[in-house]
Structure 1
């Protein structure tokens, strides 16, 4: 536990905003605008009511996060810390006060967009409260329950802290929730519409060459070789968004271990390989040199593609859009 100094982080500033609109006919004052009430649908709590009179809107509202914690939301947070949710924040037009990093490197596919944003190292787990305190966040958002179990109590003493159970499980829902929490619902809606349009266009292009075809993502990592299912990251995009079929090994599972013995069961028309951290090179060479590998449908057709782990393992609409671009570029000749 970290004791707060000089009351830092113990009190949340209260701001009251009054929005007044002059009617064109006459001089009557009416209230304009209201909060979009989607917290009730997305995170289980109703948004704070906004009066239809000229009375000022409440500066703060209290919601429950996905772990059941009551969170008093700041009226207009400016210094946001949301590790591993930077992709979503950028879609809302927000740069965090500090970003997630493995060592000193943040998400490589967001390097340009997050240029100049300092990093916090997560390679050894959740950073200490002291390390975070140096950036003086006024709102903290943790992307999964595991983070909460290790740091919620101390982090919540620094600033209001909202916890997702698993934000990467449904990034579109996560984007909508973040939009509501941060007063960016309009931006979230616009980003979602643009994404939906991109999905529609990509599916139309793929239908010409890949309708009825199956695809597989094989992940070569230091701890072993696995096949990705359809629930998360690139698997979600490939199968649920773009509609490419799944092989039997992951029809009901979100992942499956891959060995020489099961290669004949991978009846995919397209195979995408991920060399995680560049540490799967030896395993890739060994597998691809085997006679069994060379008999697989995708291999015989020349439909094996190595892709960039940076966004293929990314959780956000920016990553998903980059994956779609890759798939269309590689499959539609």
Structure 2
């Protein structure tokens, strides 16, 4: 019995020992898990701290942030003052312009008018290749009536001279569309072009056209000076109303004398024009003569005289009959023709 009890105690002790070992193992596993969790949490916390520190100390990105472009403000109408003092409301966008006798400048800016100036049915001859299809309005008896102009529905009108605005024309035209009046647009073609460019939203085109023209002038002047330094030229206009010599303020005279640098005859040294008759022909001290004939046969009576034939330029064969349209034209296209004609006459002999 004692042995049985001993065996029972032995078995009980064994069970207790096993239970104790199992319990200790479980405690050990639990503690290990807790330690691992703490270590992981600590490491995670440290990582978060390092990440926050790195973010705080990392310099801002140097990439350029491209802001979305804001749409440009739409052009709006504005008010300007013309050369006669009228306040003119300029539309935000001019699409249908009428500018009689200023077609040269319009075309230089890449603009076609709704109608063109004409004497009878003939507009500026030298521009017709660019004005094909543009209807003509006859100015031979004065400006067209408001009713005639209204048929073309212009949204802006530009008048070449103050004379065009007289006798109530400005008042009637300005009721059709805003009307800008020059005192005399031919007085300074480049300035007039700049003004028209501003009115029509073509400022850049005007600037480029003037720069290109100046380059042409400078190149031609350099060539002419090589063979005609100190030489004089006369521009004689044979018109139905009389014969005159042109000075250097307007049209081709401005180009030949002021821009290309040829000398002026004494008769127009201080005048913008001079009446020419057979009696004064010997006083024309010119090495070159450019004849501008308006109307076939208008110069025959004078050029058939012995006095004409005795002139030095005539005897030397330095008389050049030129196209009257550009030589009496007002604009950079006309001026370009004058440069070409003058350069050819003087340098290609």
TM-score by length of 1: 0.83
Q: Which runs of 5+ in 2 are unaligned?
A: 1-63
Q: Following TM superposition, by how much is the alpha carbon of 1:25 offset from its aligned partner in structure 2, in angstroms?
A: 3.2
What is aligned with 1:306?
A: 321
> Which of 155, 162, 165 is 1:148 aligned to?
165
> Which of 122, 131, 134 is 1:117 aligned to?
134
> Which of 206, 209, 217 is 2:235 aligned to?
217
Matched, 1:324 2:339: yes
Higher helix fraction (1 or 2): 2
What is aligned with 1:82?
A: 99
What is aligned with 1:66?
A: 83
Q: Following TM superposition, by how much is the alpha carbon of 1:223 offset from its aligned partner in structure 2, in angstroms?
A: 1.3
What is aligned with 1:254?
A: 272
Matched, 1:127 2:144: yes
Q: Which runs of 5+ in 1 are unaligned?
A: 1-23, 33-55
Aligned pair count reads 284
C-alpha distance in 2 between matches for 1:64 and 1:70: 5
Q: Following TM superposition, by how much is the alpha carbon of 1:143 offset from its aligned partner in structure 2, in angstroms?
A: 0.4
C-alpha distance in 1 between matches for 2:147 and 2:304: 50
What is aligned with 1:21?
A: none
> Which of 5, 18, 26 is 2:66 aligned to?
26
C-alpha distance in 2 between matches for 1:269 and 1:229: 16
C-alpha distance in 2 between matches for 1:198 and 1:141: 28
Matched, 1:237 2:277: no
Q: Deviations over 1:256-308 (max 9, x none)?
A: 00011111110100000111132xx25x2222222222222211211011111
Q: Following TM superposition, by how much is the alpha carbon of 1:31 offset from its aligned partner in structure 2, in angstroms?
A: 7.0
| RMSD between aligned residues | 1.3
Q: Following TM superposition, by how much is the alpha carbon of 1:114 offset from its aligned partner in structure 2, in angstroms?
A: 0.4
Max Rg structure: 2
Q: Deviations over 1:194-247 (max 9, x none)?
A: 100100111111112111100011111111110000001010111011000000
C-alpha distance in 2 between matches for 1:277 and 1:295: 25
Q: Which of structures 1 and 2 has the larger relative contact order (alpha carbons within 8 angstroms, sep 6+)? A: 1
What is aligned with 2:311?
A: 296
C-alpha distance in 1 between matches for 2:85 and 2:218: 36
What is aligned with 2:109?
A: 92
> Which of 166, 176, 179 is 2:194 aligned to?
176
TM-score by length of 2: 0.79
